[in-house]
Amino acid sequence: MTTSENRRVWFITGAATGLGRAIAEAAVEAGDQVVATDRDLAGLRSWVGDGVVPLALDVTDRESVDTAVAEAVTRFGRIDVLVNNAGYGVFGSLEELPDEQVRRQFETNTFGTWNVTKAVLPHLRARRSGHIVQMSSLDGVAPEAAGEAAYAGSKFAVEGISEVLAMEVAPLGIKVTIVEPGAVRTDFGSGAVTHPVGIADYDETVGTAISWFESLVGKQPNDPRKVAAAVLRAVDSPEPPLHLVLGPEAVKAVRDKLDAQRRELDAWAEVGATTAYPS
């Protein structure tokens, strides 16, 4: 039987809808306690029940982050699992995307993850335990189409940050898992910012990709509840993966990219070996 002493405390960002909500609900069903955070506090309160504490949090605002983390620790005494889920997508050609849209994309997806991780780390470090779950994307490993430079770039940055973070905190008993799902049937698509193609040279690449992306809304191949179950399985594991690729199409896409990258590496290895100083 689960007791208050062994119930984990989850701190989840972007939990009002979508994957954040699915992970929060799965954690509660597993008998854990959840601090569900989002800028949309009303959206949170519309669904939360027993075992869930809703808190307002804007991941781009360090004061908001620090306040929410402090309140969670005051209420429960600790945080066991951090899920950095808050994020959204900006799509359009690199040449045409307004700089301010790209900066907002990185402020939320990349620096928002940085802000919350930095605020929670002292509490995990003090207890020499905990698990940080970074919600990335297939696009953070193997971008699927043109028009994803801003979104994929923000997620590639999360990947690099998290890989180094894992090396820093492993000796402290803290685990890191980067979740890389394919398209999930949530409100992500309807909430994305899409910049229309204005330069005809990009019609066949970016224009086609955006049309495909828009047609996928409501038809994404992956179930958010199954993604949440996979996240809990990783957190439960004594040896969780650093990279967790989810979705059959995502597994294939990542494998294809790694295979192609290996072939390219081998083809150019002789050139790569020419740059060292003579021994």
Q: How far apart are CA 276 and CA 279, in angstroms?
A: 8
- The pair of three-digit structure tokens given for residue 61, joined into one six-digit string: 């605002």
Token couple for 274: 């020419």
Yes or no: say if 37 and 61 are a contact pair by the CB < 8 Å rule: no
Could you give the residue numbers annotated as active site? 136, 151, 155
The partner residues of 124 in beta bridges, in order of sequence, read: none
* Spatial contact of 180 and 120, defined as CB atoms under 8 Å apart: no
Q: Can you read off the two tokens belonging to residue 124?
A: 């995990």
Beta strands in 88-200 (DSSP E): 90-91, 130-135, 174-181, 193-194
* The one-letter amino acid at 46: S
Residues ≥6 apart with Cβ < 8 Å to 57: 13, 37, 38, 39, 64, 65, 68, 86
Please state the length of the chain: 279
Encoded tokens for 214: 């828009």
Tell me which residue of 105, 113, 96 sits closest to 159, measured CA to CA.
Answer: 113
Give the position of tokens 């295979």. 259
Question: For residue 267, how far is the Cα from the chain centroid?
Answer: 33
Q: Taking a C-beta distance cutoff of 8 angstroms, is the pair 160, 116 a contact?
A: no
Q: At what angle do helices 224-236 and 18-29 cross, to 10 degrees?
A: 50
